[in-house]
Structure formats: structure tokens, C-alpha cells
Amino acid sequence: MSSQQPLLLVDNITVHRGGVPVIENVNLTMNAGEFVGIVGPNGGGKSTFVQAVLGVLKCHQGKVLINGQPPMTDGVVGKVAWVSQAAANLPKSVRLTVRELVSLGVLNKRTWFQLNQGRSSVIDESIRMVGLEDVADRDVNQLSGGQRQRAVIARALASQADFLILDEPLVGLDRASRNGLLKLLDGFCHQDKKTILMVSHDVTAMRKTAHRLVYLEDTVRFDGPPPEFPSLEDLASLRGIVDVHGGHHHDHSEAECTHDHGTHAHVDIHLKEAE
């Protein structure tokens, strides 16, 4: 693996779901140590993109390479960890302490043997990194939402993956937990040389934290540093949206417009809320 090689190369991928293209001609390159935030409206294809990067969804066209290799191959599995929002919504029937949950992170064939000896220190270190040492022996269901999200991140860290992919980890967290989590992830990048690809519809949060922002809606419509991220108005024109109250033929209320224009109107509201 040469150091020149990008950690992630997404080369012109198109991904279908239910026989229909959901994202098309998507390109993205990420170098080790970067923190890239993927933002975009609901239904814009962010989770689809993440699953294609992980190799869970096959590309109809184009390819994904992680350290020069396709996802889900031996050299890649174990180096990539995925944290979904749903991962923190553990069923109430699951009785696990934080330490037990984090221990599950080392259950992968590549690292099991080599970790067997240093296992508990990896687990303790992961718990420490997310700041949950005081609640390590507590049942995960007794934790706050923010603490649970940290616990599933600790599980990902325990796998010793150096590429973390997080899909909407901020959903349901209060402002303090959100800021704490973002600071934690930023620290992983700078101190621990992790690479982070994080999906969020919280543009404001991503703008403050990510090194680079990617706006994904069917395809990549912006890729650049946060200060250059377009305003809401510019985003609308990037997405070919015209002001429905301007030159259009509608005479119904704004509330109805929101419904009629489905995702697009919803998106504007969504993004505004996030501001």
C-alpha cells in the first residue's frame, strides 16, 4: 500500500435499489486522516452511498476501492467500522453492560487471535476514548442517548478499524451530546489518525467539524471545504429548485405546498431547521 494511494476511492458509481438508480455517477476520494461529512436531504441517497462503500450494496456501474481493494475483501474487513444510528437503539430486551457491548467489537476473525492477549486493554482503552469509564459496568439501557451512541462508537473503536463510517450518529441527541460527540470524533482524526466519513443532515454541525463537506442528492452536488459550502439559496439552484411561491401556478397555502412538493419542499425545511 503506497502512501500516495487514497484510503477511499469512489469511482463514478451508480447504485440501484428496486431496479431504479438511487445515486448516479458519484465520485469521492478520501485520504487517510480526513474527516468528511456527507450532508443532504432525506432520501438523497446518503445511506445508499455508505452501503455501497461498505460493499453491502453492489454498484451498477463504477467501483469502490479501499486501500486499493474492493470492500468486503480480506485486506479491508476489520479496517472499516460502521456505526449506524440504529445501532444505538438497542432493543430493551438486550441486557449488556457497556464493557460487554464494547467487547463485541473485537469479535471479528481478523483480530480475534492477535487481540486475545491484549484484549481487555483494547476494550478499556476504547471505553476511555469515548469517556464512558465511569459507566463501564452499567447496563447500556440505563444510559442516555448520547452515552449509548458513544458506547457503539467504542465498540467500533475496539475493532481497531482505522476508517470509521457513521450514518446519522447525531439524531436524537441533545445539543451538548452532539457537540461532545463531534469533538470526540475530531480528536480521533487528529490524535489517533482515524479517518472518518460521517453522514448527517445536520449541516450546521457538519460545517463546524468536518474538514470537507459533500452534498449528496442523487449525485455529488458540492465537494469542498466548509467555508465554501453554498448558502441555502445557492443549494436550491444547484439542485434545480425554483421558488414555488414565485412564478408558479400555485394558489394554495404554504402548508399544502410542503406536501405537494414532497421531498424538495421538505428538504428546504429540513435544512433550515438544521441551521
Ligand X SMILES: Nc1ncnc2c1ncn2[C@@H]1O[C@H](COP(=O)(O)OP(=O)(O)O)[C@@H](O)[C@H]1O
- Residues engaged in binding ligand X (CB under 6 A): 17-18, 22, 40, 42-48
Q: Which is nearer to ligand X, 64 or 123 (CB)?
A: 64
Closest approach, Cβ 103 to Mg ion, in A, equals 28
Closest approach, Cβ 108 to ligand X, in A, equals 25
Cα(221)–Cα(122) distance, integer angstroms: 40
Q: Find which of ligand X, Mg ion, none residue 48 binds, CB within 5 to 8 Å per kind.
A: ligand X
Q: Which is nearer to Mg ion, 46 or 99 (CB)?
A: 46
Virtual torsion, Cα 114, 50, 195, 176, nearest 10 deg: -110
Q: Which is nearer to ligand X, 138 or 221 (CB)?
A: 221
Both ends of the chain: CA-CA distance in Å?
A: 40
Pattern 39-78, Mg ion, x by CB under 5 A = -------xx-------------------------------
Closest approach, Cβ 92 to ligand X, in A, equals 25
Q: Which is nearer to ligand X, 32 or 241 (CB)?
A: 241
Q: Is 38 exposed, middle or buried (0-12, 13-18, 19+ CB in 10 A)?
A: buried
3-state secondary structure 80-115: EEEEECHHHCCCCCCCCEHHHHHHHHHCCHHHHHHH
- For residue 221, give the amino acid letter: R
Q: Is 166 exposed, middle or buried (0-12, 13-18, 19+ CB in 10 A)?
A: buried
Closest approach, Cβ 97 to ligand X, in A, equals 31
Tell me which residues touch Mg ion (CB under 5 A). Answer: 46-47
